[in-house]
Amino acid sequence: MGNLAKLLGKVMSKEDVEKIFYRNALRVFMENMKT
């Protein structure tokens, strides 16, 4: 996970990475709430 984060950090700004992270986390959270 650390390597992936570092790789993304080189390509995107920290804000973009965090946005993607939060969006994915929110989607997973919503999926878990449904079941």
The 3-class SS string of 1-35 reads CHHHHHHHHHHCCHHHHHHHHHHHHHHHHHHHHHC
pLDDT at 32: 92
What domain count does the chain have? 1
Residue 10's pLDDT is: 78
Residue-level pLDDT at 1: 56
Q: Output phi, psi for 12, to 5 deg.
A: -120, 165
The range of the structural domain enclosing residue 10 comes to 2-34
Each residue of 3-32: pLDDT tens digit? 877 876 777 777 887 898 899 999 999 999
